A and B are shown apart, each in its own frame.
Chain A
Amino acid sequence: MGIYIDIDKCTGCKLCVSACPYGAVEVVDGKARFTDDCTSCGACVGSCKFGAIVLEVQRKEEVDTSLYSGVWVLAETHDGKLADVTLELLSEGRKLADELVTEVSLVLAGQNVEGLAQIAAQYGADKVYLVEHETLAQYRTDPFTSVICGLINKHKPEIVLIGATTMGRDLASRIAARIGAGLTADCTGLAIDPETRLLQQTRPAFGGNVMATIQCRNARPQMSTVRPRVMKKAQPDASRTAEIIRETVNLNEKSIATKIIEIIKEEGTDAIDVQDAEIIVSGGRGLRKAENFALIRELAEVIGAAVGASRATVDAGWIPAYHQVGQTGKTVQPKLYIACGISGAVQHLAGMGSSDCIVAINSDPDAPIFGVAHYGIVGDLFEVVPALTRKLKQELGQ
C-alpha cells in the first residue's frame, strides 16, 4: 500500500500542494513529491488533472493486523452538539475496548467543536483527535474523507464505528473504499470474539427477514456503521477526562469540489425526529385519509411523542416522508411505539420491531403487527385512539 507520483505525468502545477490537508506535498524542480508528513490520505489524487498521483489500496493479505489497536468513533455533530448516535457509540465502544483492553478515541472534526471533547470523555472516550477548520464546519464528503483517512493511516485503529445516518453512510463507504477497509453497514449488534479478537458485526438483511453476522479477518480497520438508537447510551461520568490530541490540517476551499449552497429545515410543530424520540405514535392506512392524522398528532402531543407513519401513508401523500418508519424509512427503537391502523408489513417491522414496548391498535385480528406487539388491541382506532388520548391527558394531569 502507498501513494506515488508518476513523474512523467506530473506537470508541477501545484494543485496537489493546495489540496493536501497535511502540508505534505512540495514541488521541487517542477515535479511534485511527498514529504515525511504524508499520511496517504488520498486528498491529492482527485485534485490532479493529469492522473499523475496513484493511491494503491491496501490488499487484505498485506495487512499486518498486529499494528492496529484501539477503538475509534467518528463524531457526528449537529448545531454545535454531539449527535446522540455518537454518544451511543462511545458507550458501546467503551465496552468493546474494555474487552480488548485498549482505548476508545473520538475523532472530532468540525469548526469550534473543542468543547465537545469533555462530553465525549464522560461517555467513555480516553482520547479525542480534534481537527478544527472552517472548511469542516458542515459535513462534506471530500474533506472529511481525506482528513479521517489521514488519521487512520497515521494512528491505525483496529475498529472504527460511525452512526448509520445519512452522513455516516456517505462517509464510511468512501473511507473504506479509499483505504481498503472492511465495512459492515447498519449493524444492530457488536461483540468481540474472545479467541480471535475479531469484531462480530450483526445486521439485518432482506428487509429484516434475515440476520447476518459478518467479520473482517484480515483488513484493518474493521469498520461498522450502527443504526441510531440501537446501542444504549451509558450514564455520563462527569469525573472522566480525555486527552485531546489536536491535529492541524491545511484545507483549501478551492480544492473541494462540492459546495453547500443552502440548508432547508422542515418546519412544523410535529417535526420531532422519530429517531430522537423516546415515544412514537405511528399511523397507517387504517386512518383512511390525511386529515385523520390529527388523531395521531393529538395523542403524540399529550405524551410528548414523535409522529411516525407507514410507507403506505407516505406514498399516498398523507404525511411527509420525514415521518416514515421502516426499511425504506427510518429505523427506530423507542421505549414505546404505538402503531395505529398499521398492518405491519415486513418493511415496517424491520424499522420498529426492536422497540422496547410495542402497542398495536388494529381492527384486523390477523394483522402481522400483532405478532410483534407486546400489547395488542383489536378494535376501531377511531374509538380507541381518542379514548387513549383522553385517558392519558387525565393521567398526566393536563
Chain B
Amino acid sequence: MNIIVSIKQVPDTTEVKIDPVTNTLVREGVPSIINPFDENAIECALQLVEKHGGKVTVITMGPPQAEQALRDALAMGADEAILVCDRAFAGSDTLATSYTLSQTVKKIADYDLIICGKQAFDGDTAQVGPGLAEHLGIPQVTYAIDLEVEGKKAKVKRLLSDRFEIVETRLPCLITVVKQMNEPRHGSLKNVMKARKKEIPSWTAEDIGADTGRCGLNGSPTNVVRVFAPQRHSQGERLEGEAAEVVEQLVGKLREKQVI
C-alpha cells in the first residue's frame, strides 16, 4: 500500500507576535516545527505500512527551509520525501495550495491513500485536505480517530463534536486525522542518520505540470488585507480575601451583570 502524507512546516504558534509599531508578524527567532497534527498523520501512515507493507511518501509545499520538516518526517520512518518549491507558489491561499499539492500527487501517480493532519497549527483552516481530495476527485473522510484498511476499502471512525461516526469508503481516498488518533513516535537513531543523508528532490511548478495561473497569488481568490493584534480588554478586577468573602463579592458582581 502506497501512502502519501501531505505535511506543513509551521512556526511554533505560541511564539508568534505582532510588532505593535509596524503591525506585521514578528517571525524572527521563532522555531519552525512539523505541524503537530501532521505528525499524527505520519504515525498513522507508518502503522498502516507496518501492517500491510508498502511505502510512505511525505510531501510538502513550502520554501527551501521546509526541507527540514521533511527530514524530520524521514527520521520518524517515512521512506521518501518530496519538496514542492517554486517562487510561483508564493502567496498561495488554501485553494492554490490544494491545487499545487494535487498536481504533485498526480505526478507521483501511484497511491492508495493520502493522509493529512486535520488542520495546520498556524492557519487552522482545515481546508487544504478536502481541497486536495476535490482536485483529485477522490472521497475524503475528515477528523479520523481510527482507520482500518481492508482490500480496496477504508473503514474510518470520525471524531465529531458530540459523536463518533463510523464510515466506509473506497480507496484511493484522503483522510484527515485528529491528534487523539495516536502518539507520534520519535525518530530511531538509525532513521535519524538515514534521514540526514537522504536526497530530497525539489519539484518546481514546471516539474508537476502546474498551471501557474492557478498557483500562488494568481490562483488565490482570497487575500489578507490587514493583520492586527487582537484586542484584549483592560485589566479585570481582582477580588481578594477569604474564600467565603470573595465568593460573596463575586456572586454579587455576577448578579449585577445579570450573568447568573
Chain B hits for A217, CB < 8 A: 223
Are A374 and B236 interface neighbours, CB within 8 A? yes
Taking chain B's interface residues, is the majority helix, strand, or loop, or is none over half, making it mixed?
Answer: mixed
* B64 at interface, CB cutoff 8 A: no
* A165 at interface, CB cutoff 8 A: yes
* B192 at interface, CB cutoff 8 A: no
* Number of A residues, CB within 8 Å of B: 92
Chain A hits for B190, CB < 8 A: none
The chain A residue sitting closest to B127, CB to CB, is: A173
Are A257 and B251 interface neighbours, CB within 8 A? no
* A327 at interface, CB cutoff 8 A: yes
User: Roughly how many angstroms separate A58 CA and B149 CA in the complex, as a whole number?
Assistant: 35
User: Roughly how many angstroms separate A273 CA and B98 CA in the complex, as a whole number?
Assistant: 32
Using an 8 Å CB-CB cutoff, how does the interface string of B220-239 with A read, 1 for contact, 0 for none? Answer: 11111111111011011111
Chain A hits for B168, CB < 8 A: 258-259, 261
Chain A hits for B164, CB < 8 A: 263-264, 266
A 169-201 contacts with B by CB, 8 A: 169-170, 172-174, 176-178, 180-186, 200
Chain A hits for B98, CB < 8 A: 177
Are B134 and A174 interface neighbours, CB within 8 A? yes
Chain A hits for B225, CB < 8 A: 200, 213-215
A 190-224 contacts with B by CB, 8 A: 200, 204-219
Which stretch (B68-76, B198-206, B242-250) binds chain A? B242-250
Are B13 and A211 interface neighbours, CB within 8 A? no
Partner of A207, one of B121, B135, B166: B121
Total contacts A to B, CB within 8 angstroms?
254
Are A258 and B248 interface neighbours, CB within 8 A? no
The chain B residue sitting closest to A383, CB to CB, is: B243
Query: Known contacts A303-B260, A357-B259; is A379 also within 8 Å of B95 by CB?
Result: no
- Interface range for B: 35 or more
Chain B hits for A214, CB < 8 A: 222-225
Partner of A169, one of B13, B123, B126: B126
Query: Known contacts A257-B170, A359-B250; is A207 also within 8 Å of B14 by CB?
Result: yes
Using an 8 Å CB-CB cutoff, how does the interface string of A319-359 with B read, 1 for contact, 0 for none? Answer: 00110000110100001100000000111000001001111
Partner of A265, one of B122, B159, B163, B167: B163
Q: How far is the CB of B149 from chain A (nearest CB, A)?
A: 15
Are A336 and B124 interface neighbours, CB within 8 A? no
Query: Known contacts A177-B130, A321-B180; is A206 also within 8 Å of B165 by CB?
Result: no
Chain B hits for A176, CB < 8 A: 94-95, 127, 131
Are B129 and A263 interface neighbours, CB within 8 A? no
Are B16 and A263 interface neighbours, CB within 8 A? no
* A377 at interface, CB cutoff 8 A: yes
* B22 at interface, CB cutoff 8 A: no
User: Roughly how many angstroms separate A311 CA and B219 CA in the complex, as a whole number?
Assistant: 37
Q: How far is the CB of B136 from chain A (nearest CB, A)?
A: 9
Among B135, B162, B222, B226, max chain A CB count under 10 A is at: B222
Are A173 and B131 interface neighbours, CB within 8 A? yes
Are B254 and A357 interface neighbours, CB within 8 A? yes
Are A259 and B161 interface neighbours, CB within 8 A? no
Are A177 and B253 interface neighbours, CB within 8 A? no
Are A327 and B124 interface neighbours, CB within 8 A? yes
The chain B residue sitting closest to A304, CB to CB, is: B260
User: Roughly how many angstroms separate A378 CA and B126 CA in the complex, as a whole number?
Assistant: 38
Partner of A336, one of B179, B235, B254: B254
Partner of B259, one of A330, A345, A356, A395: A356
Are A206 and B16 interface neighbours, CB within 8 A? yes
User: Roughly how many angstroms separate A60 CA and B98 CA in the complex, as a whole number?
Assistant: 16
User: Roughly how many angstroms separate A68 CA and B158 CA in the complex, as a whole number?
Assistant: 36
Among B13, B123, B163, max chain A CB count under 10 A is at: B13
Are A376 and B236 interface neighbours, CB within 8 A? yes
Are A266 and B163 interface neighbours, CB within 8 A? yes
User: Roughly how many angstroms separate A180 CA and B218 CA in the complex, as a whole number?
Assistant: 12
Are A358 and B236 interface neighbours, CB within 8 A? yes
Q: How far is the CB of B71 from chain A (nearest CB, A)?
A: 24
* B1 at interface, CB cutoff 8 A: no
Query: Known contacts A45-B137, A165-B161, A204-B230; is A328 also within 8 Å of B14 by CB?
Result: no
Query: Known contacts A177-B134, A186-B124; is A142 also within 8 Å of B236 by CB?
Result: no
Are B125 and A178 interface neighbours, CB within 8 A? no
Query: Known contacts A59-B214, A166-B160, A211-B229; is A257 also within 8 Å of B224 by CB?
Result: no
A and B contact pairs by CB, cutoff 8 A, 7 listed = A166-B160, A166-B161, A173-B128, A177-B95, A214-B225, A264-B166, A371-B232
17 more A-B residue pairs beyond the given contacts A183-B221, A346-B13, with a C-beta to C-beta distance below 8 A: A140-B167, A141-B130, A170-B130, A174-B134, A177-B130, A206-B13, A209-B229, A216-B223, A257-B173, A258-B141, A303-B260, A322-B161, A330-B161, A374-B237, A376-B236, A376-B238, A395-B260
Interface, chain A (partner B; CB < 8 A): 45-46, 57, 59-60, 140-142, 145, 165-167, 169-170, 172-174, 176-178, 180-186, 200, 204-219, 257-266, 271, 273, 275, 279, 303, 321-322, 327-328, 330, 335-336, 345-347, 353, 356-359, 370-380, 383-384, 387-388, 391-392, 395
Interface, chain B (partner A; CB < 8 A): 11, 13-14, 16-18, 25, 93-95, 98, 121-131, 133-135, 137-143, 155, 158-170, 173, 179-180, 213-214, 220-230, 232-233, 235-240, 243-244, 246-248, 250-251, 253-255, 257, 259-260
